[in-house]
Amino acid sequence: MAHAATRTIRQLGSRVFGGYAELLRIPHTARFAVGAVIACMPFPMVGMTITISVQHYYGNYTLAGALTAIQAVSLAVVGPLLGRLVDRFGQRQVSIPTIIIWMIAAFSLSACISARAPEWILFCITPFLAAIPPWGAMSRGRWTHLLAGDRIRTDRALSLSGVLDECMWIIGNPLSSTLAVISGTLAFSVTGLCVLTGSLMFLTELSTEPPSQTQLARRAGLTRAEYREHEARRAAAIQRDAGTLPSAIDSRDGSASAPRTSIWGPGLIAVCATWFGLGAFQSAASISIIAFATEQNMKQYTGFVFACFSFSSLMGAIVYGARNWVTPLWKRFYICLAMVNIGVGSFMFARHLWVIMIIYLIIGVGQAPTWINGNQLMLHLVPPSRFTEGMAWMGAMNAIGGSAGSAVAGVFIDRMGSHGGFLTVTILALASLAIAFTGLRQIRNGTEAPVLTEVKV
């Protein structure tokens, strides 16, 4: 019986993790995949570090919320620009100067917070923390480049990226909250070390880097603008052949009409609007939980609560990515999204921090699949040489929503305590779900289109 049980466990493990292991056995993939996650540590650590450090030195949640909001808005502005530059000029060419700017800004902000510098100085430095290369988008861009044409393994690779991202949040949230309580400088130093280590692992792996638009255009003997038009024309032709676009052929001369080179179709607009709402209520929930834990003298456990959410999300990502789904992508997207929105919206009824932790454990299984579904949607909505830019826009809208959510929640927390923050969370969560369903038709139509990242010019 013991032998049979062991064999069953091995078979289950092989079924769940076998596909991921196969991807990581592809030469050089493990290095860039893990390096990207390590380099992404500023995302879970910087916001938490700023919130705890500013509250400790200045005793003001409004200031903390305003600074995190400014950082998020700056990310939203700079992120798509960096994504576009990466697609045009290459990953290494853009990432190296960006990293240098971030390191200078991070240590300057840490020193100013510790010295209780005037608030206007903090507001001047914080925007430069947006100088973070789009590691997640660049990593996913490498996967789609390596696995172009293999739909099943591409979807699994995006799920693997989601799994690794959740590992980052599981480690980053409790680590940042613990280090920030000890010293904000220590927290920023550890974050900087992660950035240097991860970027070296990622950027020194050259064989998996996808070609930039400049390289592709040079090979084709075209300018970048001509190449983008050529690619857009090719993508439109494939969608037209699949019946998802009206014919663009001029019957008089048989030539294709001028293609639309912008990536902003109805589907992408709907996804970005949804990600705005998602960022708004989740950011408001984070700062409200910190305030709630502080009121209960349990602030040291906030990182653990967030880690439980990330752990649950990790389990959801592992199981979700191990299965080949037959349910339409748009249905899976809305089911997971509704689960997360309704669950987080119920925080206002919690009377203890551990109740929030239990809710997080339950609904967390839908968090990573929601993001994985969003990544898969991007395969249908943007052409391959602009995939990084499309992913950056999705992240930017999430950051803008996060900035709005944290700023609004910070004001209500200062006036009404954590209850005011959770009331804001509930309203934002329900409004976010309503916004998402207004784009149902656009997202459904988008998933019925061909996968544009498999288009080759």
Which CATH number do you get for residue 381? 1.20.1250.20
Return the H-helix or E-strand segment holding 334. helix 329-345
- Which residue type, as a one-letter code, is found at position 448? E
Q: How far apart are CA 265 and CA 263, in angstroms?
A: 6
Q: Please identify every stretch of the chain with a pLDDT value under 50, giving residue numbers as ranges.
A: 246-260, 453-457
Looking at residue 98, its pLDDT comes to 93
Q: How far apart are CA 433 and CA 204, in angstroms?
A: 41
CA dihedral 244, 250, 251, 252 (to 10 degrees): 180
Quick one: pLDDT at residue 196?
92
CA distance 20 to 105: 36
Contact partners, residue 214, CB within 8 Å, separation at least 6: 88, 89, 90, 224
pLDDT single digits (tens) 408-422: 888 888 888 888 888
The pLDDT value recorded for residue 12 is: 55
Q: Name the β-bridge partners of 249.
A: 256
Domain count, the chain: 1
CA 229 to chain centre: 28
Q: Which pLDDT score, from 0 to 100, does residue 53 have?
A: 83
Residue 230 lies in a domain: no
Which residue range is the domain that position 149 belongs to? 13-203+262-454
Per-residue model confidence (pLDDT) at position 5 = 57
Q: Residue 103's closest CA among 194, 38, 236, 207?
A: 194
**128 assigned to some structural domain:** yes
- Give the pLDDT confidence score for residue 99 in this predicted structure: 93
The closest of 290, 297, 366, 352 to 48, measured between CA atoms, is 290
- The values of phi and psi at residue 256, to 5°, are -75, 140
Phi-psi region of 221 (alpha: psi -120 to 50; beta: other; left: phi over 0): left
Cα 119 to Cα 303: distance, rounded to the nearest angstrom: 26
φ and ψ of 96, to 5 deg: -60, -55
Rounded distance between C-alpha atoms, residue 425 and residue 356, angstroms: 13
Residue 231 host element (H or E)? helix 224-241
The whole-angstrom separation of Cα 86 and Cα 63 is: 33
Query: For residue 347, what are the CA distances in angstroms to 279, 307, 353, 401, 406?
Result: 16, 17, 10, 19, 16
* DSSP alpha helix (H) spans, 40-134: 42-58, 61-89, 91-114, 119-125
CB count in 10 Å sphere of residue 327: 8
pLDDT, position 141: 83
Residue 214 has a pLDDT of 81
Reported residue count of the chain is: 457
Concatenate the DSSP letters of all residues of 421-437 into one string. HHHHHHHHHHHHHHHHH
Q: What is the pLDDT of residue 105?
A: 92
**Structure tokens belonging to residue 48:** 């938490």
- Does residue 301 form part of some domain? yes
Q: What is the pTM of this model?
A: 0.69
pLDDT digits (tens, 9 = 90+) for 71-116: 877 887 888 888 888 888 888 889 999 999 999 999 899 889 888 8
Residue 89 lies in a domain: yes
User: Residues with Cβ < 8 Å from 240, sequence gap 6 or more?
Assistant: 246, 247, 248
